Structure 1
Amino acid sequence: MKTTRAFGHIDTWVFDLDNTLYPHHVNLWQQVDARIGEFVRGWLNVSPEEARRIQKDYYLRYGTTMRGMMTEHGVRADDYLAYVHGIDHSPLEPNPAMGAAIAKLPGRKLILTNGSTDHVDKVLARLGLATHFDAVFDIIAAELEPKPAPQTYQKFLDTHQVDPLRSAMFEDLARNLVVPHQLGMTTVLVVPDGSKEVVREDWELEGRDAAYVDHVTDDLTGFLAGLGAG
């Protein structure tokens, strides 16, 4: 039986953005996913089916499709990010309950994302959470090396002077919790609540029982509220 890490010692709360701070079933990422496919198709001049195959292959192997496109085909990050994040953020709704729960957590709240700061700003504005976070570490700050690369987490920790032994990480992809757990962070996997259909790859929904996942929740707002009340 695995030992589950607790939260009493935590003074830094680290959150992924997409499918973590808003519900999976909003399927906002599905819009980004479609834009990525369009970008790959246009850049490589291949069929939609081949573009999809390449997109998912790079996502799995490189951490992001962008990293694969940069490595294999010389794509510029600025061009890619500007295109794929050109989406409609209106499906996102304000979540004052989550804001209140985050506000009650003791210490700093940071965002660690494979997306861009521009995307983060738009998402947080729609959710009404912009004032609740102290800093954002995005793919540019990571020097375009996405999670789950170990050096990305280390650069994040160094940049924001975070003690991993006093930190918690919230993520929707279990594989992105492997390194945080190895570093000593308390890890929380945020999963779909099962109420609505979600568009995800099978591997993206795996890992709930992994040794590097300390906690699993399908209701982040309720989970955080419980911590703040503790």
Structure 2
Amino acid sequence: MSAARQSGRAPALRFDAEQSSKARRGFDATRVWIFDLDNTLYPSTCNLFAEVDHRMGAFISRHLDVPLEHARYLQKRYYHDYGTTLTGLIQLHKIDPHAFLEFVHDIDLAPLSEAPELATALAALPGRRIIFTNGSRRHAERVAEKLGVLHLMEDICDIAACEFVAKPSPDAFKRMTDRHGVAPSDAAMFEDMPHNLEAAHALGMTTVLVHSDYQDHPAQQQMKKWRGLPEHIHHATDDLTAFLATLAPKPNS
């Protein structure tokens, strides 16, 4: 794991190389590179997702006609119990998912900067590149365009494309791989949520945890107790761009 950035709310994870090496798996066979979007493809330190998080609470308060404090409680409760807040809202309240996504992703992208070094690192990866997100396609397009990497992505698999079956459900991963013709043994999955990598690992993907300072899920809190990477995570980094740069094929290789 690369050296920790000195930023924010949660210290980067540090593991002894010998401890984590038993779980490592290389990228020699990787020809499909799959990226989560929020707090993965862009650094969590820009705090962009905090605005999405705030708007989720506002949506729930308005549509369920409850005080904001209770709306925030429901938001996090559904997130923890159902994998995503939206899944809980659909199952328990029959909320229109399109209206929810349109509202919560109507955010200012000013905190997000163009990332030319990330674009260079992505462009050097051999094979296909896909965004796989529990958010909306439009949100992913806006973010990737602002980063300067949208043109490098073959496609975006959003939650609507998975018929609102969300990560971490194994069914969401199956829908994504079927939709895009992905052989899991040829794929690598990059995620900031450790439990979202369990299904990817079970399918046979190489898994990479991207450290996030934005930690509001119990699975992220459990990372503080880790003494090494769990079996379902092959690699971890707190600098996606630097990590990807090490994976570019070497000349004459």
Q: TM-score, normalised by structure 2?
A: 0.86
Q: 2:102 aligns with which of 72, 82, 86?
A: 82
Instruction: Describe how 1:1-230 pairs up with structure 2 within 5 A.
Output: 2-192=22-212, 198-201=213-216, 203=218, 205=220, 206-207=222-223, 209-230=229-250
The code of the aligned residue for 2:153 comes to F
The answer as to whether partners of 1:70 and 1:77 remain within 8 angstroms in 2 is: yes
In 2, Cα distance between the equivalents of 1:78 and 1:92? 24
The code of the aligned residue for 1:203 comes to P
In 2, Cα distance between the equivalents of 1:40 and 1:210? 35
Residues 86-138 of structure 1: CA distance to partner in whole angstroms, max 9, x if unpaired? 11011110001010000010000011100101001110111011111001100
Query: Which residue pairs with 1:195 in the alignment?
Result: none
The answer as to whether partners of 1:139 and 1:146 remain within 8 angstroms in 2 is: yes
Structure 1 residues 119 and 161: alpha-carbon distance in aligned structure 2, compared to 1, 3 A threshold: same
In 2, Cα distance between the equivalents of 1:149 and 1:169? 15
The code of the aligned residue for 2:148 comes to G
Greater RCO structure (CA 8 Å; 6+ sep): 2
Report the alpha carbon displacement of residue 225 of structure 1 after superposing the two structures with TM: 0.3
The answer as to whether partners of 1:90 and 1:126 remain within 8 angstroms in 2 is: no
Runs of 5+ in structure 2 lacking a partner? 1-18
Structure 1 residues 59 and 88: alpha-carbon distance in aligned structure 2, compared to 1, 3 A threshold: same
Report the alpha carbon displacement of residue 201 of structure 1 after superposing the two structures with TM: 1.2
In 2, Cα distance between the equivalents of 1:133 and 1:202? 28
Residues 161-193 of structure 1: CA distance to partner in whole angstroms, max 9, x if unpaired? 10101110000000100000011100000003x
Structure 1 residues 199 and 182: alpha-carbon distance in aligned structure 2, compared to 1, 3 A threshold: closer
The code of the aligned residue for 2:156 comes to V
RMSD: 1.3
Report the alpha carbon displacement of residue 42 of structure 1 after superposing the two structures with TM: 1.2
SS at match of 1:227: coil
The code of the aligned residue for 2:27 comes to F
Of 40-49 and 26-35, more deviation after overlay is shown by: 40-49
The code of the aligned residue for 1:200 comes to Q
Structure 1 ranges of 4+ moved more than 2 A? 202-209
In 1, Cα distance between the equivalents of 2:83 and 2:23? 28
The answer as to whether partners of 2:80 and 2:217 remain within 8 angstroms in 1 is: no
Report the alpha carbon displacement of residue 203 of structure 1 after superposing the two structures with TM: 2.5
Query: Which residue pairs with 2:12 in the alignment?
Result: none
